[in-house]
Amino acid sequence: MDPEEPLTLSRGAGRVIRLEVAYDGAPYSGWQVQPSQRVATVQGALQDAVAKVTGRRAEVVGSGRTDAGVHAVCQTAAFRTDSSIPPERMAAALNTYLPPSIRVLRSRLEEDGFHPIRDAIKKRYRYLLSDGHPADPLLAGRVWTVLRRLDLDRMIQAARHIPGTRDFAAFQSAGSPRVSTVRTIFDLTVTPLDWPRIDRTPFLPLHRRIIAIEVEADGFLYNMVRSIAGTLAAFAQGRAGFENPDDMAAVIASRDRARAGATAPPHGLYLLGALYPGDTL
């Protein structure tokens, strides 16, 4: 191989290094490098850091190609390198050259042939939304604040119809068609989260509540979690066409994107992580 040619996971000398990466998606145009545009991406920042640390460019492959504004608590990534740097020290070395909005949490040696997308058994996402008003500036860019009150019980009732192996075409946005729209959702939870409350102040009683929607599946369609979040919000608000939470079953069965709710904005979405053979929870 030409020493100037970038190393890829599929070919080349050296070892495969697995990374666990957290990032704030707000400053970036998503995970994937966009060669035709001069825009900052998470993948691009990581590849630049790898080149500075190892002296050679390499493709950094992630478990999910998160969209612009989407965050990651733990994105699994991997790259191939012929560097002699110990794998467990690679995280600290890369962080030296990464912006504060991207941190490599851990690094380790992985088996040759490992692929973060192909080998993932399941992935888990969290979507955060709030109906607090006025909107909390500390949550800006982190949580979707909706304008109408959310009924948590209605949201939970609608969510019960989602888990299982089903055709989830109703939750797929246009733009990235798949051969099959059947996926298995292993777990879906709707949980209120604690948030610092300031309603004890005598002059400023405010409502503050964050709701977390977590979805774990063997794979996801384009904008699937954001579409689920938008549909659950519509049922929680009792919007027209979403008055009965049990109608969620009919929405899924329709396979019609127009029957589901709006796609929730990207800034409330977090990739929590992916599970691989041999991993322990």
* Model pLDDT, residue 69: 96
Domains located in the chain, CATH noted? 15-110 (3.30.70.580), 125-275 (3.30.70.660)
The amino acid occupying position 91 is: A
Categorise residue 169: left if φ over 0, alpha if ψ from -120 to 50, beta otherwise: alpha
242 φ, ψ (degrees, to nearest 5): -130, 35
CA 248 from centre of chain: 23
* Model pLDDT, residue 88: 97
CA distance linking residue 134 with residue 205, whole number of Å: 11
Each residue's pLDDT tens digit, 191-237: 998 776 555 555 555 567 899 999 999 999 999 999 999 999 999 99
Each residue's pLDDT tens digit, 237-268: 999 999 999 999 999 999 999 999 999 999 99
CA distance linking residue 214 with residue 269, whole number of Å: 10
pLDDT greater than 80 at residue 41: yes
* Model pLDDT, residue 129: 96
Is residue 3 very low, low, confident or very high in pLDDT (cuts 50, 70, 90)? low
71-81 and 15-23 beta bridge pairing: antiparallel
Catalytic hit among 67, 82, 218, 247: 67
Tokens 């733990």 identify what position?
74
Non-local (6+) Cβ contacts of 97 within 8 A are 48, 49, 52, 53
Each residue's pLDDT tens digit, 139-150: 899 999 998 899
Higher pLDDT, 6 or 85: 85
Active-site residue, 67 included = yes
Higher pLDDT, 86 or 196: 86
- For the entire predicted model, the pTM comes to 0.93
* Model pLDDT, residue 1: 46
CA distance linking residue 228 with residue 127, whole number of Å: 9
Each residue's pLDDT tens digit, 8-25: 887 777 899 999 999 999
Burial of 46 (0-12, 13-18, 19+ CB in 10 A): buried
Three-state secondary structure call for residue 278: coil
HEC profile of 171-238: HCCCCCCCCCCEEEEEEEEEEEECCCCCCCCCCCCCCCCEEEEEEEECCCCCCHHHHHHHHHHHHHHC
Please report which helix (H) or strand (E) contains residue 157, including its range: helix 152-159
Mean pLDDT of the chain: 91
* Model pLDDT, residue 72: 98
The amino acid occupying position 76 is: T
Residue 36: DSSP 8-state: T
Which of 263, 261, 237 is closest to 248 using CA atoms?
A: 261
* Model pLDDT, residue 281: 58
Q: What percent of the chain has pLDDT over 90?
A: 78
